[in-house]
Homo-oligomer: A and B are copies of this chain.
């Protein structure tokens, strides 16, 4: 099988946390600022596909710009705006169990008399009390409706592995005997929004991420190539993952960009 970078690449999706910067760190990952600059200067369309729900999209872009990245708000695809679109489209009133810093992305959404629950990466706000409140909204419904903004197992923060949205989604799924709808990676609908925005078919696009399941597996399920970086939450055993085999493994984002640009037809 040809190496992932030998087949035509017309666009790239990048994960953010663990790929552009290490979660909790105040600097960009070495080489990544320059690599993003180079790939954009080459004219290759790029988008940033993230499950970040600890801050608003605007705050996330501000953070990236502060770290030196050339990134525009329209290039960043986090779950909250996609979630709001679904809520409006289906006329739903959510109970939000999200990080307060993410809440402004839901401004204008009617949350009175809720008929569904939206789960984000609430971190310290995942208290027993808050989880019970979300549970009580769900069990009060004839058909409980649970949305999870991402379904990751864990991420790395300040050198420690921390629980992501996925475990809390599983907790509420079990409590209410429901299956959550995932808005974010690895949902195909979520990846497809970014692909549509680039106007490119999946087979010409690749995803670069640190999560073997959500980033690599999710992108592959959509028909993209998926490459894992050995930064962020990467662990050596990911290269022998029982269900997902990446199209390639690279040391970091800069190494991925080097290969893409070097082999560009």
The residues of A with any CB-CB pair to B shorter than 8 Å are 122-129, 131-132, 135-136, 139, 153-154, 160-164, 166-168, 170-177
Contact = CB atoms under 8 A, between A and B. Distances in A.
Contact of A167 (B122, B129, B174): B174
23 contacts: A124-B129, A125-B128, A126-B127, A126-B128, A131-B163, A131-B167, A132-B160, A132-B163, A135-B154, A135-B161, A135-B163, A136-B160, A153-B175, A153-B176, A163-B175, A164-B175, A166-B175, A167-B171, A167-B172, A170-B171, A170-B173, A170-B174, A171-B171
A238 to B, nearest CB: 12
A131 B136 contact: no
- Please state the number of chain copies in the assembly: 2
A242 to B, nearest CB: 9
Contacts of A173: 170
Most buried by B among A161, A162, A171, A173: A171
Given A127-B127, A163-B175, 11 more contacts: A124-B128, A124-B129, A126-B128, A131-B167, A132-B160, A132-B163, A135-B163, A139-B154, A153-B176, A166-B175, A170-B171
Contacts of A166: 174-175
A149 B188 CA distance: 37
Contacts of A124: 127-129
Contacts of A127: 124, 126-128
Contact of A174 (B125, B126, B153): B153
Given A170-B170, A174-B170, A128 B123 contact: yes
A157 to B, nearest CB: 9
Contacts of A122: 128
A128 B177 CA distance: 23
Contact of A126 (B131, B154, B160, B170): B131
A161 B135 CA distance: 8
A179 to B, nearest CB: 13
